[in-house]
Structure 1
Amino acid sequence: MKQNLSREEAKKSLVYDPYFEKGNYGSKIFQTLVAILSWFGVLIPFLWILFPFVFPNRAQYNHIVVYLEEKTTLLFLLIFLSVSFVFLTILYILLTFWNNYRFKHFLQKEKQYDDERLNKRRELLNKAYDERFGSEEFRHKVCFYSVKEEQNLETDFVKKLYQE
């Protein structure tokens, strides 16, 4: 049985992040600065290693020595990341084609519901509506209809009807 949660109850049970709400500018500025500094922490070692290769004269002036291990490491990273990028690109393209094929040929052609069960439920609902509010012809032809208090539907009317 599904529970209906209020917005406050949902906030308590789900992840809540004030960063994306209106206001909270101090928190937003602090978190953004921390994220930018963290990215600098990721990128600076790569820039430090690449500096002697990109500016060899400047590196010699600053007494930065290029070691063979650095060249080997950079070459390995370049090859590894290039192969990974090509592999992932091909994989994602193939998965996209496969998903589109499945969607067109299987998901759109198969019925996602039980036709007999749906017809039975429609008949049950139509009978219940006919009993409470009159025939379908009458309901469609009438311009104004006032529902009596006894005719109001309970919140779980359809659920109870289907269970019976």
Structure 2
Amino acid sequence: MVQEKGKYSQQLYTDDYFAEGHLGLKVWQTLMALLGWLCVFIPIAITVISYIGVRFGWVQPLWRYREGIYEIQFIGVVLLFLAAVALIFTVSMTIIQVRKRDRLVEQWPTFDPIRQKARETELDQFMNQRFGSPEFRQNCRNYQVEANQNLDTNQIHELFEKQHLDSMR
């Protein structure tokens, strides 16, 4: 636990590199990081310089292996092809998602949880009035709907519209 101005807070990680002191650790880790980056950039630089030297003659190449040049060209073509496939896939998926979103936004209104709760309450009251309490409906084995209890085609939709108009007032 670390104390900060009278409060205790939990410290989830520590890094001695950024803490005060530990000069030897800082020097060692910095040298190792630089060595690691040199191991990445030196082979890349040698390969690029050799390829440019063999292909275009602008610089003196460090190696002239014909197989290496063909391999670099092959890898370049493969990477270019994969980049084109990724671009086509990304653009097409973006177009599909934008069209799908536009269709859904036009067809369905944005979900409003407060309005949804009011609709559920209104529907529960309507069903209780029309068909009896929820306990009765759930525990009844057989129930015969009377002719006057049948729902009209748009009755629930009209109920929601009436409830919406009442809430607007």
Q: TM-score, normalised by structure 2?
A: 0.43
Structure of larger gyration radius = 2
- Ranked by relative contact order (alpha carbons within 8 Å, sequence separation 6 or more), the top structure is 1
